Amino acid sequence: MQYMLMFYQPSAEFEQRNDASSQALRASWMAYADAVRASGISQGGHGLFPPMTGTTLRVRGDKRQVQDGPFADTKEQLGGYFVIDVADLDAALEWAARAPCATSGGVEVRPVFIATAAATA
């Protein structure tokens, strides 16, 4: 079954720094991504640019509301994702627990809905 792992990180982790802790964090993410890919469960995934580079759009009535940055004012922001194909939720949770942000932010694990012709008719 396919699951999306969505990685939420504290805002401070998006700051562009070159100190030892930032380098260690980047190295831990690279090691994690390499492990996911090497396991053969990866269906795809990407990191995202920092939240302040995003734009949020909402349509209310016939008006578009556009806001720079993330819509929600939260302490954690979506930093990236993987779609993985594993046997069950327990296996997906095992991979989620290995993510570097699991101890400082969080990982949302959600089953992927794959639309079929019957489901869309």
Residue located via tokens 């939260």: 74
As for how many domains the chain has, the answer is 1
Query: Which residues is 66 bridged to in the sheet?
Result: 57
Q: The domain spanning residue 106 has which CATH number?
A: 3.30.70.1060
- pTM for the whole structure: 0.83
Parent domain of 8: 2-120
What one-character-per-residue DSSP string does 16-61 give? ---SHHHHHHHHHHHHHHHHHHHHT-EEEEEE---GGG-EEEEEET
Residues 6+ apart with CB under 8 A from 13: 25, 79, 101, 104, 105
Q: What is the pLDDT of residue 71?
A: 58
Q: What is the pLDDT of residues 18-32, one digit of tens each?
A: 788 888 988 999 999
